[in-house]
Structures are given as C-alpha cells and as structure tokens.
Amino acid sequence: MGMTLAEKILAVKAKRDFVKPGEILLCDVDIALANDVTAPLAIKAFESIGKNDVFNRERIVLVMDHFTPNKDISSAMQVKFVREFAKKYGIVNYFEGGDVGIEHALLPELGLVVPSDLVIGADSHTCTYGAIAAFATGVGSTDLGFVMATGKIWLKVPETIKFEVKGIRGEFVTGKDIILKIIGMIGVDGARYKAMEFAGEVIRGLSMDERFTICNMAIEAGGKAGLIEPDEITKAYVGGRAKREPNYLCSDKDAEYKKIIEVDITGMEPLVAFPYLPENVKPVSEAKDIKIDQVVIGSCTNGRITDLRQAAEILRGKKAAKDVRLIVIPATPNVYRQALEEGLIEIFLDAGAVISPPTCGPCLGGHMGILAEGERAVATTNRNFVGRMGHPKSEVYLANPYVAAASAVLGRIAHPEEAI
Amino acid sequence: MKIRGRVWKFGNHVDTDVIIPARYMNTSDPHELAKHCMEDIDVEFVKKVSKGDIIVAGENFGCGSSREHAPIAIKYTGVSAVVAKSFARIFYRNAFNIGLPVIEAPNAVDRIDEGDEIEIDLEGGKIRNITKDEEYSFVPIPGFMMDIIRAGGLIEYAKKNMI
C-alpha cells in the first residue's frame, strides 16, 4: 500500500519508511514560526522549559505582522519582548518594520519554506505552505515553545481527503472561489483533523498565488493541512528562491484516501461567503442587493501580486463609490514594490483607495480599517465570524479580488461583469 | 480525576474570535484575557460564570485561529472543563497543553441543559448528570494526555519527562 503526500512527508520527518493514519509520531521540525500575537506566549513557554538555547537559530522565524505598525502601547510592548528574545538568541529570521510582510506570503516568497518541509506555526493559516508541497500546520504557543526548545513535535498522522477539481473555469473565477466552493460543500468542520489534497486539471492550471489561496483556507474546513503535489509551476516558483535544497515528493499511485471528492466547477460563478461562517457560500449574483461600507483587498489569503493585478483589472480608470472605504494591503514589501512598478498602486490611488503597509490589520479586527456597528465589508480575507473585523454587529462577506473591486465601485456586492 | 460543576451551554462552531476577540490580544495576561471571554456572543458571561463551572457546546468548538489565548481566557474565568460534541483540532491541542480538560462527548451534549450540575470522570469516560440523575459515556482521555493534565500542561510535563 502506498502513502499520500502528507503521509510521506511525515514519514521522512519521523525517520520511518512507512506510516499510516492514526499513528502518533515524534517528528523533526524544519521551520518553527510565530508572530507578534503568538510569539510572546511561545517564548514564555520556551523559557519555562529551562533550556538555555533554541534548537536552531536559523529555523525559527518570527514575523511581527498582526498589529504592525504597532497599533498601541500593548502591541509595541509585545513586539519589544519578541525583539529582545530574537536578539538574545541570535534568531536569524526576525522580521519587523519595513522588512515585515504577512507571514504566509513572506516565507515562501523568501524561500524560507521549501517543498517537503515540516512547518509548525503558531498561526492557523500556516497550512498555506501546502501549496508548495510542505506539510504545514498551525499549533498554539505552548506547542511552539516546545518546538523552539527541542525541534520536535508530536503529531498524529491524519487521514487524507482528496479533492479532484475538474471542469472549465469561468471568467473571474479564481482559486478563492474554488476553496469557497469546497468549504461550502463539506462545511467548516468537513475536514476536521484531516489533510486535504487538492488535485485535478483545474488545480494544475492555477498559478502559485492562487494555489496559496486554496491551501491557506484549508483550516476554514477544519483541515490539519492542505497540500498540492509539486509540478513544473511549483518548481519554477521554488527555483531561485529556495534557501535550502527542496525535496519534491508526490502521493503514491496506490495511496489510500479517506475519501475522494469530485468538484466540478463548470458554469460556476464567483462566490461570496455570507456572515458568519465561511461555509455560507452563495453565487455572487444572489448577493447583489447588499450595500457595503468597506472593501478590504489583502491578507495572507489574497494579498499577493496576482490578487492585486485582478483587483486593478477592475479598478483601472474607475473610482470607488462615494460611501465605500477601499483599503488595499499588499502582503509583502516585494509585492508592494512590484505593484508600484506595474502601475497598480497608481490605479488604486486613482480609485480613491487607502494603501496600507503590509499587515494582517483589519482581517482580524486589529487595526487599519475596523468596522462600526451595523457596517458591512466585502473582504478578500478568510474569516467572517462574529466581530472578526470590528463591532460584533458588523458583517464581513468573503470574496475574490475581482468581486471585491467591483463591489467597491458599485457600493454594493457586485459581479465583476457589472463594473467593466 | 473527577470534575464537578454547573453547566453553561453554547451552540455549534463557537469560534476563537468570539471566545476571545483579537482586539484584546495585544496582551497575553491571562486575567486580562478572561475579562473578555465570550463577550461578543454573551456580554454577561464573565459576570455569570463562577469557579468550577463547565461549558457544554455543540460541534467544532474552538474553530478558527490558533490563538492559545482562547483556552487561556476560558480557563481563567474559572471554567474547569469544556464538553462538546467535537472540537477544532488546534483548540483541542492547546487546551490540553495549558491544562484545561476538554472532553469529546457527542452523546451527552443534547441531554445536558444549562444550569445542570454534572460530574465528569476523565479516566473512566463517564459524565454523571446530577440534576437529571443520568449518566453518559465518552471515550476516556488517553493516558499520555491525562499525564499532561495532571502535570498542569505540556511545559510542566516536558520538564518532568522529556528534557
């Protein structure tokens, strides 16, 4: 019997020839990641273990992205605490200020994560790196403190659900719509404790940026990891960036899956997830009467250059509606620079957008665009829970960058076709 | 190990953003976090809850973010355990790691009402509903995880066993 991609990576990390779902393994971790919110607790956990050094100062990555630029005294104190820790232990990959990007866009871009890595991050969207065929999963701060001390983690081998995505991709349908469709099909706990493997002709035809979007939201279906087998597109992305030698693993032909689910996207419109769960998915044409106050284009889900190009395609030569605040957040300094060089930033400024520095900011209701009571936002982010972007009585509608841009122009949720 | 307390009930998919909204995560002080626990779905919760109480909820409790602030906020309100039909994976791990017992008991949840007095036998896999004089069973907590709970969390456990 063969192994799935997820099982194969875990087998390598546990120094085993074969593993099967349900086994508990002690695995070697390649990258341990934390941010300004989760690192302080992880550092406290690390320190209370009482080891006098970290397991590897090059393999711990600390990205101060959630409340950057520090929004208040408490956040500044948290970052100061992490900065001092990074200095004390000589942590090589510490990112703050102008170096900071949203962690899950930044790490692959800089080649810090490579295919077949085991990445343990104190952030639930760590699953993003499955797009380059790494096994990447989120944990809490105590688990991460343990990893920082030992370089190891206990993991249960998850069963894998395979999603065969086929059909003809319609205009304005992106990776975001494919993952929203899947979450809508299986629900927010449909892949709880499971690895999700995204496969099929449609996935093969997607750019890396759209693949990152898909794997990023595996957690919104409860997934432990979301993976895509590497191909030429993966290799073209990884080559030239990888800071370590990549190992390209694929699922065996005779791998055993918990389930194989076919997803046919022929005839599918762009989708919108209604409050207050990402599974509340409807075609955009069924959402068109909803007036909005704010649009956010950015986040670890949709803040990469492809996303900004898609938004700019709609916004070129247009203005955001008078009563809509349009906020654009390039995910990393490189994305920002590239958007500037391609003229996208000018398009956004002409449209009346606020351009934010790279930050998680409003996605989690941190800062840079908080909603008042009764306000509604269309966001390219990943969660629309109660109070996620501000007041508990505000609402977030999740969508792709085309839909978000079109909605900004029309002042209500809109199909991209309406804004062209 | 037995835990006894009065029940507060919640529904399905109670996410980490309502357990502790991110706007309060500019600190990791557990007592400060506890002040805002469940605020966005029940403003009165932190005033009503008392030491030893037990949360009983539906499917997928703790879904969303990896923030350990969520189980910490619950623990420092005085809540002694969470019983649910199912838990989100990261929350489940975090809760054990910080020493908050969480029990997956799909058969029990619909039988238990808010205000009931229940007693949980962690190793025995039994929940006794004292108010209704009923008993429900669940898959007992595995030995390894009971050791973590007894030690008071993963760090204390690690100090004793692994380093």
A38, A44, A385: residue with CB nearest B67: A38
Distance CA A43, CA A52 (A): 12
Q: Provide, as residue numbers in chain A, all residues whose Cβ is less than 8 Å from the Cβ of B67.
A: 37-38, 140
Q: Tell whether A289 and A184 lie within a shared domain.
A: no
Of B162 and A57, which is predicted with more confidence? A57
Residues 6 or more apart whose CB falls under 8 angstroms from that of B124 comprise B140
Distance CA A75, CA B118 (A): 40
The alpha carbons of chain B give a radius of gyration, in whole angstroms, of 15
Q: Tell whether A40 and A105 lie within a shared domain.
A: yes
pLDDT at B162: 61
Q: Tell whether A48 and A119 lie within a shared domain.
A: yes
- Give the mean pLDDT of A328-351: 98
B77 touches chain A (CB under 8 A): no
- For residue A172, is it left (φ>0), alpha (ψ between -120 and 50) or beta? left
With cut-offs at 50, 70 and 90, classify the pLDDT of residue B145: confident
Contact A304, A335 (CB under 8 A): yes
Contact B20, A365 (CB under 8 A): no
B22, B26, B65: residue with CB nearest A74: B26
Distance CA A308, CA A304 (A): 6
Distance CA A319, CA B101 (A): 53
Model confidence pLDDT, tens digit, residues A350-370: 999 999 999 999 999 999 999
With cut-offs at 50, 70 and 90, classify the pLDDT of residue B144: confident
Assigned domain for A292 exists: yes
- Give the mean pLDDT of A73-85: 98
DSSP A53-111: S-S-TTSEEEE--SSTTT-SHHHHHHHHHHHHHHHHHT-SEEE-GGG---HHHHHHHTT
Range of the domain at A373: 272-419
- For residue B143, is it left (φ>0), alpha (ψ between -120 and 50) or beta? alpha
pLDDT at B160: 80
B135 touches chain A (CB under 8 A): no
Mapping DSSP onto H, E and C, the string for A221-254 reads: HCCCEEECCCCHHHHHHHCCCCCCCCCCCCCCCC
Domain boundary residue among A227, A262, A297? A262
Model confidence pLDDT, tens digit, residues A33-44: 999 999 999 999
3-state DSSP assignment of residue A26: strand
- Give the mean pLDDT of A304-327: 98
Cα A192 to its chain centre, rounded Å, is 18
B50 touches chain A (CB under 8 A): no
Buried residues in B16-34 as b, exposed as e (16+ CB within 10 A):
bbbbbbbbbbbebeeeebb
Contact A242, A110 (CB under 8 A): no
With cut-offs at 50, 70 and 90, classify the pLDDT of residue A174: very high
Q: Tell whether A332 and A400 lie within a shared domain.
A: yes
Distance CA A381, CA A126 (A): 15
Q: Tell whether A276 and A252 lie within a shared domain.
A: no
- Give the mean pLDDT of B125-129: 97
Partnered with residue A283 across adjacent β-strands are A271
Model confidence pLDDT, tens digit, residues A257-300: 999 999 999 999 999 999 999 999 999 999 988 999 999 999 99
DSSP A290-301: -B-SEEEE-HHH
Token readout for B141 is 């907590």
- Give the mean pLDDT of A333-359: 98
Q: Provide, as residue numbers in chain B, all residues whose Cβ is less than 8 Å from the Cβ of A142.
A: 68, 94, 97-98, 153-155
Partnered with residue A227 across adjacent β-strands are A197
Assigned domain for A244 exists: yes
Distance CA A103, CA A97 (A): 13
pLDDT at A181 exceeding the cut of 90: yes
Distance from CA of A383 to the nearest CA of B (A): 8
Q: Tell whether A40 and A129 lie within a shared domain.
A: yes
3-state DSSP assignment of residue A319: coil
Report which of B151, B121, B150, B152 is spatially closest to residue B138, judged by C-alpha positions.
B121
Partnered with residue B126 across adjacent β-strands are B121, B137
Q: Tell whether A247 and A114 lie within a shared domain.
A: yes
Domain boundary residue among A262, A280, A295? A262
Vertex A331, ends A361 and A280: CA angle to 5°? 65
Q: Tell whether A342 and A412 lie within a shared domain.
A: yes
Assigned domain for A267 exists: no
Look up the CATH number of the domain holding residue A79.
Answer: 3.30.499.10
Assigned domain for A182 exists: yes
Please report, as a single letter, which amino acid is at residue A140. G
Nearest residue of B to residue A189, measured between CA atoms: B60
Cα A101 to its chain centre, rounded Å, is 12
Assigned domain for A353 exists: yes
Domain boundary residue among A262, A291, A309? A262
**Percentage of residues of chain A with pLDDT beyond 90:** 97
B85 touches chain A (CB under 8 A): no
- Give the mean pLDDT of A176-193: 98
Q: Provide, as residue numbers in chain A, all residues whose Cβ is less than 8 Å from the Cβ of B158.
A: 49, 146, 149
With cut-offs at 50, 70 and 90, classify the pLDDT of residue B143: confident
Model confidence pLDDT, tens digit, residues A386-401: 999 999 999 999 999 9
Q: Tell whether A213 and A288 lie within a shared domain.
A: no
Token readout for B54 is 């037990």
Q: Tell whether A308 and A240 lie within a shared domain.
A: no
- Give the mean pLDDT of B75-96: 97
- Give the mean pLDDT of B92-102: 94
Number of structural domains, chain A?
Answer: 2
φ and ψ at residue B91, rounded to 5 degrees: -60, -40
Q: Tell whether A325 and A286 lie within a shared domain.
A: yes
* Cβ contact A139–B93 (<8 Å): yes
What burial class does residue B121 get, using C-beta atoms within 10 Å of its C-beta: 0-12 exposed, 13-18 middle, 19+ buried? Answer: middle
Assigned domain for A107 exists: yes
3-state DSSP assignment of residue A216: helix
pLDDT at B161 exceeding the cut of 80: no
| Residue that is written with structure tokens 């990776």 in the block | A175
φ and ψ at residue A339, rounded to 5 degrees: -60, -35
Q: Tell whether A127 and A199 lie within a shared domain.
A: yes
pLDDT at B163 exceeding the cut of 60: no
Token readout for B163 is 């380093």
Model confidence pLDDT, tens digit, residues A220-259: 999 999 999 999 999 999 999 999 999 999 999 999 999 9
Residues 6 or more apart whose CB falls under 8 angstroms from that of A122 comprise A33, A34, A35, A38, A39, A41, A42, A138, A139, A140, A141, A143, A144, B66, B68
Assigned domain for A162 exists: yes
What burial class does residue B47 get, using C-beta atoms within 10 Å of its C-beta: 0-12 exposed, 13-18 middle, 19+ buried? Answer: exposed
